[in-house]
Amino acid sequence: MIRLFSAAFLLLAAPLAVGQQAAPQKGDADLAHRSKTAMCIGCHGIPGYKTAFPSVYHVPKIAGQQPAYIINALKAYKSGERSHPSMRGIAASLTDQDMADLAAYYGVPAQ
């Protein structure tokens, strides 16, 4: 009887869990500015900067990007979906909250 109720509960609750999405984390721009931007500014904070590792390319500007884009890009580096070695190493050290904080600092404020 307990198994029947447990199975019924799981069948009823499963669609609710699948349909729910976690609310985006709120980032703290001030915290990011004070403690997290040092790893970004060395490349992304220099106008017109080009790097030679792993090949010569123009380093993109991240200030003014949409926060969701910044978070998604960092997650893609962390997961290996994007493959730049320096960015993979940096993103691997970031928590989801770190990413949200950096996105709040560099990103365009929500309108």
Residue 1: pLDDT over 50? no
The CATH architecture of the domain made up of 25-106 is Orthogonal Bundle (1.10)
The confidence score (pLDDT) of residue 78 equals 98
Query: What span, in angstroms and rounded, lies between the C-alpha atoms of 31 and 33?
Result: 5
The confidence score (pLDDT) of residue 11 equals 40
The confidence score (pLDDT) of residue 111 equals 53
The overall average pLDDT reported for the chain is 80
Q: Where are the alpha helices (DSSP H) in the chain?
A: 2-19, 29-35, 38-44, 67-79, 85-92, 96-106
Extents of the domains making up the chain: 25-106
CA dist 4 to 1, 8, 13, 46, 95, Å?
5, 6, 14, 63, 40
Rg of the Cα atoms in the chain: 19
pLDDT (average), residues 51-58: 86
- Written as one string, the DSSP assignment of 62-80 is -TTS-HHHHHHHHHHHHHT
pLDDT (average), residues 86-99: 95
32: left (phi over 0), alpha (psi -120 to 50) or beta: alpha
Contacts of 39 (CB under 8 A, 6+ apart): 90
The confidence score (pLDDT) of residue 8 equals 40
Q: Judging by DSSP bridges, how do beta strands 57-58 and 50-51 pair with one another?
A: antiparallel
pTM (two decimals): 0.71
Question: What pLDDT band is residue 24 in, cutting at 50, 70 and 90?
Answer: low
